[in-house]
Amino acid sequence: MSPPHDFAARSSSSSSFHPRHQPQRSTSSSSPPSPSAAPASVPHHSHLAARSRLSNISRHIAMAAPANPSVFTAAVVPQAPEDPLFGLMRAYKQDTSDKKVDLGIGAYRDNNAKPWVLPVVKKADELLRSDPNLNHEYLPIAGLPEFTSAAQRLILGADSPAIKENRVISLQTISGTGAVHLGGLFLSKFHPSQPKPTIYLSSPTWANHTQIFSNVHLRTATYPYFSPATRGLDITGMLDALRAAPRGSIILLHACPSQRTSACTASAQARSTSSPRRAHRRPRQPRTWRRSWPSCSGPRSRTRPRTARASRRGSSTTPRCLRSGRPICAR
């Protein structure tokens, strides 16, 4: 699908074939230019002609456009409530205190509160920029096959039975919000059951997840994920909730540590999560749907990585895990 500006370019270029928009052409245009002609005069006159045509089109549109106000008034489109996280960002920027600490958006900062780019991200960016085979051509509708297949193996494992049995389909989307919306829209439109299955979200989850599913007319429920008491994953409550979920429920899982809590499942816990109904000896399992996030390469931390201990652990610019003291994403 072509982007909007591409459509605009085609629309404007097609209008030049209309007799009213045909530029004047001299009979000498097909002959070679005179050596004495100034080459700079050609683009200058071309720009003037283009501006003139653009002004005529703009004036024509302005004269033809009705003076009616927009139909999207405040009564039709109510003001959406401010996102809590972005509201916190705005309050942080307006705060004049020199002791403020930004714990809002899940992005790394150094000891000077400046953005800290992961070394692996810098390396990947350098590889992309130096690869002569990469370009900006349009990708297939489902995305780059090499990327989606690699994502399958990364999230589910190279030896995953689901991959080997061809039961996994991956699409390249616009970040996490785009993935959740596309998945919800697909389930709402094509899932054969009536009523549609309930979507189980972790507690906590992102503020927009519930609204994304409600906008496509899907019901949501929650399962325990983070335990404030242990400051880690509530694996017992999570499995109990998933076992109690009705057959055919859709479960949105985090394939790596949750960006909001830094809690994640260990390997044995992940295997239990993938088949929570084995304890009930019921053959049919709930469908699981994983949303992937960048993960850290070091041991799992029970709390969100901070930079406060960096000065006591070595580098003053590399965030380190509070639990292990190792650099985050050092690979």
Instruction: List pLDDT tens digits, range 117-145.
Output: 999 999 999 998 999 988 888 999 999 99
User: The whole model's pTM is what?
Assistant: 0.57
pLDDT tens, residue by residue, 151-167: 999 888 899 999 999 99
In a domain, 234, yes or no: no
In a domain, 211, yes or no: no
In a domain, 148, yes or no: yes
In a domain, 268, yes or no: no
Domain count, the chain: 1
In a domain, 87, yes or no: no
CB–CB of 250/199 below 8 Å? yes
- What's the pLDDT score for residue 197? 93
Instruction: Compute the mean pLDDT over every residue in the chain, rounded to the nearest whole number.
Output: 72
Pick from 95-109, 236-250, 257-271, 285-299: least confident: 285-299
d(CA 99, CA 109): 15
17 versus 327: the higher-pLDDT residue is 327
In a domain, 167, yes or no: yes
CB–CB of 282/242 below 8 Å? no
Q: Binning pLDDT at 50, 70 and 90, where does residue 246 land?
A: very high
In a domain, 159, yes or no: yes
Vertex 36 angle, CA 32 and 41, to 5°: 80
In a domain, 75, yes or no: no
CA distances, 251 to each of 43, 192, 200, 274 (Å):
60, 17, 5, 10
Enclosing domain of residue 164: 138-172
% pLDDT > 90, the chain = 30
